[in-house]
Structure 1
Amino acid sequence: MMADDTPLAALGRAMKARGFEYIGRAPDEWLEFHGAIKAAGAAHVACLAVDPSGLELPRIRVELPQGAPDVLAHIGADGHVCYAAKGSLVLDIFDIAGQTLACIDRAAEVLDLSLSGEMNKDLEDEFFAFWHGDICILDVYPGDPGNLDVLFAGRGDHDSHIAFVTNDVVRTRLKLKAMSLTEGELLAGAAFRVRTSAKPKPLQGAWPPPTVAPLLQWQGLLDPSARRNIERRLLVAYASGRRAALCVVDSPLTQYAFWVAFETANPPGRRSAADARVQLYASKAYPMIAVRMDDRYVTQRNAPGRPTLSGKKIALVGCGTIGGFLAELLLKAGAGLEDGELALIDPDILFPQNIGRHRLGLNRALQNKAIGLKEELAVGAPTANIRALPVKAEEADLTRFDLIINATGEEALGHYLTVTFARRGMFVPILTVWVEGPGVAVRGLLRDTVECACIRCLSELQRAPLYPVVNEPVPLELAGHGCEGLYVPFPASVSIQAACLAAEMVTDWTGGTPGPRLRTRVTRPGFTQAAPDADVARRHTCPACGT
């Protein structure tokens, strides 16, 4: 098969010792072996395909015994054994033989447990491995009332169209535009949803259900109430003369869908209820892979069980090197959604020399930063409520926000905001985030109650720091030419770390765990953090918040 001193030669010898015969190369150049795997008290003919590079898990397929259920946990319809998820094992390209034998042992264990019925519970978790079909994208919040429409859309250079199910066509059209999709046919009211208390799992027998009759039988075994609702809604759709209907099922595990194409369009009032049922039961049913794209799910998907920024009114003051990146992170955490608002406040113009460490690029140069950032972010988040205010913070009404974020790097602005609110007898939580010196560290300070420290509380009246950032002296570094061209140099990676720190503190605040309210992240080698992260109390002698 190959030279004796190669890993593949060792693989051939190991497989032969295990009773597998080398057959040859598959069309994709993988090595094929035939043999047997012992499970459930019997030997099962098996075919193995091994990646010669060792970078992929071996493919293992077995011939199932007569009388085996048509649906088995971790066993595909063609006998393919799903014994490990991709990426769940560390592969060793220097020991292809050893890792292949280990995979055979694991596949035998899975096959044994599956044939004995001990893994049937796993059918719920891998339901979609058996529920194949076209993609159906859901732009509907679970539990939202109202009729559902089906909107077909696709790319101009493709014939196939994807079904989008929505209860707000205007909202979904904004998303289709952002996805560069061309809108096709709109079927108003062609979809409906049914809630069930049962987690879906495949039916032992013919699968997936080819027509409505076995589909309803399957649903009846899972949840009789849901089965009755599905049948009733399908009969209504059929009686109204529709050609088809799409059903979305809200289950405790996930959402799934199926499409029913009625065999004969039923003219309203032309058939009896009994005839309608006969025709409905014979109609073909097509499973659909439901993919959610509603804003709530997209926001919560990567932080399950944690509060998001949806519904919050947040003012981001400063759309520069920190604020630009931070605005995008806030959007991904839900800012501007579900009656929330993200206000971007900055009076300045983006000059070309600044794009090296800015979220915006050359296409936004010589534009107002707040307006350019709003337009740029709206492309990827068309349903978010983003407002651009190209004014100074002093000129904006900040009293109506749930949180103000000062990302300008201007300490004096923080003092001004604190004093202004105090003199008005008002309080709005303020998060300040900044870069220390030439990128030595990034810091964030949250003042979410009147007893918490403001930015001025971090130093004595003579401005000596009470909570030094690092143990080493912070260097004074300037670059540029002339008074107006001087700036403090640090790379975009530092700006991004400052934005990440601020986003972390905002989500913690939203989740009810705001501490520690003073946080530091050292970003330059050779420096060590001095003052530990902590909740800092207000200093009653502070000229800003002590008034």
Structure 2
Amino acid sequence: MGYTNEKDLYAHYFIIEKSGKKRVFISSDREEAETLASSLGGTLKPSSFRCWLLKTHISPAVPKAMPGTVKELFSWLRTWDKTLSAGVQKILSEPDYLKFKYVSFAIDTPVGRIGFGFNLDHLKRKGYSRSPNRYRQWLHNKGGETTLIRLSIEQVSSQFVHSRNLHFPDLYNKRVTVVGCGAIGSFVAHAMLRLGAGTGKLGGLKLIDPDRIGPENLGRHILGYPSLFEFKATALAADLNRQFPHSKIEAITGSVFAHQGLWGSELIIDATGEEAVSELLNGLRLQRKSHIPILHVWIRGNGEAVQALWTDDKGGGCYRCLLVPSANAHRQERYRVLKKPSVRRTDGCRAYTPYAVSAPLHAAALATEMVCDWLQGSPTPCFRTRATANADVFSLKNKNLSKIKGCPACEPQ
């Protein structure tokens, strides 16, 4: 079962056929059915059947035996919820259901969806097409022996999928932008999508990265060889669309600073791990006096630790407040983490910092944790550090970052 509008009296039946097997998909949205069929590699077959929708706030009564006939169904519904029972009887008093040879119902209950249906007598439904009450009366008498067909209903709508495992609101109808689709950003994007980014009429997930995937990326990126030499943003969007076809995902392969729609987001996640990009994004947010929060996340050293900083217009320090003036250097870390310099390697004319795939996974998990806290009302503590179990690093408590006096970004002279 897919999306259903609570105001609708019924949803439509769609038949999805794959490898000779058929599944019924009930939804109010044909486009959703077409998208699901395509995603499953199946074919959407036409069907004229409808499923009438009902809802109750009362948990179903537990009978000695589940009803097996229409008469037993009517009795069970009266015992369970008289209002629900009256709703079924009202539907059976209207002429619409007599247009079909089969009628079915899906009831939204506190314990999930319950579905059932039964076949309609061909001659009687034709004869009573203008007198549906007479057919209903027949169902209460001789027609009550009609065998009941129980439906096993599984929810597959995107709203159910993304909210089912949460005890707080998801990212439904929110606009999220991930800047950087490399090692960290690729895992962050997957996590945001599973939290509901890109769903709802207003929602969207935007991926921004001008670079292409090289062989040097594959060992710690969520994508593999099929995406080699493709734009990171485009390949990642295609992978996400394949897995979650109902989500709206947009790939931007240009510079984040040239993208005019950046500040139309409700959350920006800076997953570049590049200090220069992070400082520029931080400066733009402050310059615009934007209310849009930016979550910066990065890896320390060779993966010994990961850090994240949530910045917004609620006060507190900015990204630049992580550095302080130094007599021996232009600036130094305000909160030192690493005890030893990172190991660096060269590959031809390129230098890089090696770390295992566990590091970007660790960073993405930290960023996701903070987004979940934001969805619950507060992303504090705004500055967080996570170290691996065997890392030789300084212990640093999570905290709300305070502004430093004379910060050139948020407190210019």
TM-score, normalisation: structure 2: 0.91
Partner of 1:366: 229
Contact 1:522 1:529 in 2 (8 A): no
CA distance in 1, matches of 2:180, 2:9: 40
Q: Does 1:537 align with 2:402?
A: yes
User: Structure 1 residues 514 and 182 mapped into 2: Cα distance closer, same or farther (>3 Å)?
Assistant: same
Shift of 1:418: 2.0
Write the letter of the residue equivalent to 1:445: L
Unaligned stretches of 5+ residues in structure 2? none
Partner of 2:52: 192
Contact 1:518 1:536 in 2 (8 A): yes
Q: Does 1:342 align with 2:205?
A: yes
Name the SS for the 1:353 alignment partner.
Answer: coil
Partner of 2:342: 476
Matches within 5 A, 1:52-67: none
Aligned partner of 2:61 among 201, 213, 218? 201
Shift of 1:268: 6.2
Shift of 1:358: 0.6
Contact 2:104 2:115 in 1 (8 A): yes
User: Structure 1 residues 478 and 262 mapped into 2: Cα distance closer, same or farther (>3 Å)?
Assistant: same
Matches within 5 A, 1:40-439: 138-141=1-4, 143=6, 145=8, 147-158=10-21, 161-188=22-49, 190-204=50-64, 207-236=65-94, 240-264=98-122, 266-267=125-126, 269=128, 272=131, 273-279=133-139, 281-304=144-167, 306-338=168-200, 339-397=202-260, 398-439=262-303
CA distance in 1, matches of 2:372, 2:205: 14
Shift of 1:238: 6.9
Partner of 1:514: 379
Moved more, 448-457 or 373-382: 448-457
Shift of 1:528: 3.9
Contact 2:118 2:146 in 1 (8 A): yes
CA distance in 2, matches of 1:275, 1:201: 27
Write the letter of the residue equivalent to 2:152: I
Partner of 1:78: none
Structure 1, residues 236-275: CA drift from partner, whole Å, max 9, x if none?
Answer: 3676331112201111222111122113352265575335
Shift of 1:524: 6.2
Contact 1:439 1:524 in 2 (8 A): no
Name the SS for the 2:324 alignment partner.
Answer: coil
Q: Does 1:495 align with 2:356?
A: no
Write the letter of the residue equivalent to 1:507: C
What is the CA RMSD across the aligned residues, in angstroms? Answer: 2.0
Name the SS for the 1:201 alignment partner.
Answer: coil
CA distance in 2, matches of 1:275, 1:140: 31
CA distance in 1, matches of 2:135, 2:398: 73
Name the SS for the 1:514 alignment partner.
Answer: coil
Structure 1, residues 402-456: CA drift from partner, whole Å, max 9, x if none?
Answer: 1111100111112112222323343421100000011111111101235222221
Name the SS for the 1:292 alignment partner.
Answer: coil
CA distance in 1, matches of 2:66, 2:129: 31
CA distance in 2, matches of 1:241, 1:486: 72
Write the letter of the residue equivalent to 1:466: R
Contact 1:243 1:261 in 2 (8 A): yes
Highest Rg: 1 or 2?
Answer: 1
Moved more, 313-322 or 536-545: 536-545
Contact 1:241 1:268 in 2 (8 A): no
User: Structure 1 residues 476 and 267 mapped into 2: Cα distance closer, same or farther (>3 Å)?
Assistant: same
User: Structure 1 residues 333 and 495 mapped into 2: Cα distance closer, same or farther (>3 Å)?
Assistant: same
Contact 1:155 1:182 in 2 (8 A): yes
Structure 1, residues 1-34: CA drift from partner, whole Å, max 9, x if none?
Answer: xxxxxxxxxxxxxxxxxxxxxxxxxxxxxxxxxx
Contact 2:93 2:136 in 1 (8 A): yes
Contact 2:289 2:313 in 1 (8 A): no
CA distance in 2, matches of 1:178, 1:507: 28
Q: Does 1:467 align with 2:335?
A: yes
Structure 1, residues 57-88: CA drift from partner, whole Å, max 9, x if none?
Answer: xxxxxxxxxxxxxxxxxxxxxxxxxxxxxxxx
Aligned residues: 401
CA distance in 1, matches of 2:296, 2:387: 17
Shift of 1:219: 0.3
User: Structure 1 residues 146 and 263 mapped into 2: Cα distance closer, same or farther (>3 Å)?
Assistant: closer
Write the letter of the residue equivalent to 1:516: P
Write the letter of the residue equivalent to 1:186: S
Structure 1, residues 322-356: CA drift from partner, whole Å, max 9, x if none?
Answer: 00011000000011111211100000011123111
CA distance in 1, matches of 2:75, 2:247: 42
Shift of 1:529: 4.3
After TM superposition, which residue ranges in structure 1, 4 or more long, deviate above 4 angstroms? 268-272
Contact 1:517 1:536 in 2 (8 A): yes
Name the SS for the 2:395 alignment partner.
Answer: coil
CA distance in 1, matches of 2:360, 2:404: 29
Q: Which has the bigger relative contact order, CA under 8 A and spacing at least 6?
A: 2
CA distance in 2, matches of 1:454, 1:542: 9
Shift of 1:181: 2.8
